[in-house]
Amino acid sequence: MPYIFPSDFMADPSVHVFGHRLFIYPSHDRDAGIPENDNGDHFDMVDYHVLSTDDIEAVMRGEASLCDHGVALSVGDIPWAGRQLWDCDVQQGPDGRYYLYFPLKDRNDIFRFGVAIADRPEGPFIPQPAPMLGSYSIDVAVFRDDDGQYYFYFGGIWGGQLQRYRDNKALESAYLPSGSEPALPSRVARLRDDMLEFAEAPRPVIIVGDDGQPLRADDPHRFFEASWMHKYNGTYYFSYSTGDSHLLCYATGDNPYGPFRFRGVLLTPVVGWTTHHSIVCFRGRWYLFYHDSVPSGGRTWLRSLKVAELTYNPDGTIVTIDGGAKE
């Protein structure tokens, strides 16, 4: 699969179509000289760029380049900033403006979500003075449903701190389920009409197997991070990364809250530890955007953007894409 932005290390692409252009909102990797660890301290990103194109097929063939609109938001712009500006997502609100949602550690090293606003999809984005009330963890995806409601999906384990919370309250000691216990789920909350806060308490996003029971903590297909939501032929597709089993998986349901039934693997392991993605329809064709670490020699904190066309079977299942990692 082609690399679509070889001139810099970017990852975690959130992709949307605004007007007649496809916009990519990635995180921006850099070599900060920090030793790699399970908390992700080596992912010390400090800004976001916005990329766009009106012809992704030409980009995939190497006949055109993505437009880099430059820095859209930096850690230094954010009043409550600590460190680590990880993955983000953007949606156009009912007022026509564009809302960028980002996770960032505050000065107590706790991940919160912030909001920044722009008049154009490429920014620049102006951050709100404080994080969203009641927000925690990482990996945001904001889905606009057909009725105009917006749903905010989030959560990531280990460095993403999701294991530090239960029922939206911080725990005295983090707890991560194991063995046959139900896996730790991601979260979803509908957004307020002003797009700035949750309209309700976040709910768990439950993924069940064919037996109707939640996936277990020892299931290699359980949720770990990187939520995404899209809709195809009236069905809601919740997709996600399994983290340490290195898969992208998906589950389907009949509403934005779930429960979602596990359906299969979207992408087999890539070179590099993380897999983070988005799915979008552009000009009648469906695409999976993701990243791997091949150009950096497998260094997991220096990742590069990729894209593959997505194919649906007649029964609504998705044809698995080979991520390229060898056993």
Q: What is the pLDDT of residues 23-62, one digit of tens each?
A: 999 999 999 999 988 889 999 999 999 999 999 999 999 9
pLDDT digits 0-9 by tens, 306-325: 999 999 999 999 999 999 99
pLDDT digits 0-9 by tens, 151-161: 999 999 999 99
Whether residue 259 is preceded by a cis peptide bond, meaning omega within 30 degrees of 0, is yes
Identity (one letter) of the amino acid at 90? V
Q: Note the pLDDT of residue 274.
A: 83
Does residue 12 carry a catalytic annotation? yes
User: Exactly one of 12, 44, 139, 292 is catalytic; which is it?
Assistant: 12
CATH (one of 2.115.10.20, 3.40.800.10, 1.10.10.10, 3.40.50.970) for 10-309 = 2.115.10.20
Phi, psi (rounded to 5 degrees) for 57? -65, -40
User: Exactly one of 87, 89, 225, 292 is catalytic; which is it?
Assistant: 225
Which of the two residues, 36 and 199, has the higher pLDDT score? 199
pTM of the shown model: 0.97
DSSP H helix total and E strand total for the chain: 1, 23
Confidence of residue 327 (pLDDT cuts 50, 70, 90): low
Q: Is the pLDDT of residue 280 over 80?
A: yes
Which of the two residues, 10 and 273, has the higher pLDDT score? 10
State the virtual CA torsion across 230, 236, 240, 245 in degrees, nearest 10: -140
Does residue 119 carry a catalytic annotation? no
**236 in Cβ contact with 252 (< 8 Å):** yes
- What's the mean per-residue pLDDT of the chain? 97
